[in-house]
Amino acid sequence: MASKLTDVRIRNAKPGAKPYKISGGHGLCVFIMPAGAKYFRLRYRYAGKEKMLSLGVYPEVSLKEAEAGAAQAHVLLRQGTNPSEDRREKKLLLRQAERHTFAFAASLWVEHNTPRWKPATLEKVRQYLDKDLLPSLGKRPLGNITPMELGAVLERIERRKALNVAKKTRQWLAAIYAFAIAKGLTASNPAIHLGSIALYQPEPKNHAHIGLEELPKFLKALETYDGSVLVKTCTWLGLWTANRPGITRTLKWSELDLDQGLWTIPKGREGMKRGYSHVTPLPTQAVEALRTLEPITGRYPYVFVGRNDWRKPLSDGAVTGLLKAIGYSGKQTAHGFRHLVSTALNEKGYDADWVERQLAHGDPDEIRGTYNKAVYLDQRRTMMQEWADYLEDALRSEVLQTVRKRSDASR
């Protein structure tokens, strides 16, 4: 009967000119190599043939660990399983799992859904993946990613106050993992409970804005403002176009074609929601007002330059300061002009799609399958000119008459 293997016995075994083994019973042995390396091996029989299973190198693998490995192999043998084949299969599964990274699953998910998505949706998904998910998760095996790891990714998004992005990201993470499970790429979905740790997202509040019946009084107060002509024109431009305040105050001369009466906001422009491009028709009143500013700021990048540094745009509090100065603090905000214009145009009976496009709501690629960034431009040009004329009339009237459309714009 072979002597029991002990650490002392293995440690004292000296290398010889040829490899030899010392046995410890039940097939467990240690091969001593001429160079001094000592390998644990398990000799066993399967299907009538003698086999050998490697259990590691001493002392990196301890005797206790080697004995545990041998005991596990004997359990498999009693179950009719070849330990060597079992190990080979597990290694193959592990290699496959390593190849099944988050990036791999995400790319298959995108490819699968591309035919059913609109171009804008596809672009949005890729932007979210490239910016927020792939940098930290891309190379990670799907099965190794934990809920805590995904939670950390979402927390980074929430810290920059992008709660809508975080919400969409949670949905897409769950969808990617559901797809991966169905494809056999992983067995679990760590994204399934992420909603329970989402930050509370309050209901959006409308920005303060006056009613249409107050418009004549407001416009008269605005017209009598005798402060900065830049701030005053910026305020009027917000009324004439309904563009976002941040976009309006950072308007660049390079974005304007006054001869054509167009303001083109390029894709990726800072301050533009989700970086969409947008074309704004300019009514004649806006063109005239902007031309009066060319001798003042035409040599600078920005139309509405900063008071202290003409290389920078107007501050974000400039229009707020004007509204306070004319007595409308808390009653009307720069962003509230968008609500005011939207209400008026809808009450005038204009097509809702024209109004939504003028307000740059949503991606232009998603509007009724039209893939022209200047969708409804002709209709909107007529609509916004009529709106500017309406403001001009309101400025000169004592009582605003019932809101009505001047003429039927071509549909």
Q: Active-site residues: which are they? A: 244, 273, 335, 338, 361, 371
- Look at residues 225, 278, 220, 271 and name the one whose alpha carbon lies nearest to residue 248: 271
> Quick one: CA torsion of 59, 63, 64, 69, rounded to 10 degrees?
100
CB 280 within 8 A of CB 243: yes
